[in-house]
Amino acid sequence: MATLELNNLHAEVAEDGGETILRGVDLEVSSGEIHALMGPNGSGKSTTAKIIAGHPSYEVTDGEVLLHLDKDEFETDGVEIDDDLTWDLLDLEPNERAALGIFLAFQYPAEIEGVTMVNFLRTALNAKLEEREELFEDDEGEADAEEEDDAGYDTSPMEGDVDEGEVGVAEFQQLLQEKMELLDMDEKFAQRYLNAGFSGGEKKQNEVLQAAILEPSVAVLDEIDSGLDIDRLQDVANGINALREEVGTGVLQITHYQRILDYVEPDYVHIMLDGEIVKEGDADLAKQLEEKGYDWVREDVYETA
């Protein structure tokens, strides 16, 4: 099991005289749990997500971002850890955080012409596995990495060397097919260029597919519900539920609206206001919020303060 823990997190924009955005955020997300982080625009939700991922635009001025890993966490990958470990994520680069099992789906995914989904996803998976080996300095792992290369496939030079990496082309095709079935996605998807000409819904589904392949311990999904019609919302929600059930991922679902929570029932709901979590509860809290709006939270918090 893994637990992501934010402790009294304070952060400002990383420039001289940068504005303070987070004012003491406490949050714990463990494998297999679904948390909703809600709040009005500008409350600091995306900043929280970006700091977890290691975005350089923000400076942490106080507090901690920790990742606790039980020693059985990586057993299936052949990585053996002798004791439970705690990593200080703020000391690690974004790719190292990803290798430890943190996944961030961006609010605005990038479009890249010339790189197919399948190649992008395989490259991402191999980069993660390679980085993980380095982090754990696992001697056996290195030997494995050399063995697995598949015979050459012709692809465009834009797509890099397909023979490189731990998971070869054939093996990856199979993995991809399994994951696409799990998420109920159209196979043709994988041959398209990354997000190029994708609808809003397809981009978001794509983020879920990426997560399903990388099998993160904790996935932070920033407004993955924004701009989706009801059918796509359901597809994306089914994907998130599958991620929790089949992969055991802990999900931090960032959202402005209650709508997606009808399909992805959260175990915990946290409401953020002006850079702090000011209210916490279960799924009922989100329903209350839907009825009464964020002004109710604001009044409630500032009246009792």
- CA 27 vs. chain centroid, Å, equals 15
Residue 130 or 276: the one with the smaller Cβ distance to ligand ADP is 276
Task: Work out which of 6, 12, 25, 46 binds ligand ADP, going by CB under 6 A.
Answer: 46
Q: How far is the CB of 39 from Mg ion (least distance, A)?
A: 9
Q: How far is the CB of 44 from ligand ADP (least distance, A)?
A: 4
CA distances from 255 to 186, 250, 304 (A): 26, 16, 25
Residue 46 or 258: the one with the smaller Cβ distance to Mg ion is 46
Residues in region 3-22 near ligand ADP by CB under 6 A: 13, 19, 21
Residues in region 50-79 near ligand ADP by CB under 6 A: 57
Q: How far is the CB of 4 from ligand ADP (least distance, A)?
A: 18
Give the span between the Cα atoms of 279 and 283, in whole angstroms: 12
Region binding Mg ion by CB under 5 A among candidate stretches 3-11, 38-46, 52-60, 288-296:
38-46
Q: Quick check: 46 binds Mg ion (CB under 5 A)? A: yes
What is the pairing mode between strands 34-38 and 268-273?
parallel
Half-sphere exposure of 126 (CA within 13 A, CB side): 23
Within 10 angstroms of residue 160's Cβ, the number of other Cβ atoms is 15
Judged by CB under 6 A, how many residues of this single chain contact ligand ADP?
12
Q: How far is the CB of 304 from Mg ion (least distance, A)?
A: 26
Q: Quick check: 304 binds ligand ADP (CB under 6 A)? A: no
Give the span between the Cα atoms of 6 and 296, in whole angstroms: 26
- Which strands, in side-by-side order, build the sheet including 250-255? 102-105, 218-222, 250-255, 34-38, 268-273, 276-281
Give the span between the Cα atoms of 292 and 299, in whole angstroms: 11
Q: How far is the CB of 38 from ligand ADP (least distance, A)?
A: 9
Residues within the interface to ligand ADP (CB under 6 A): 13, 19, 21, 39, 41-47, 57
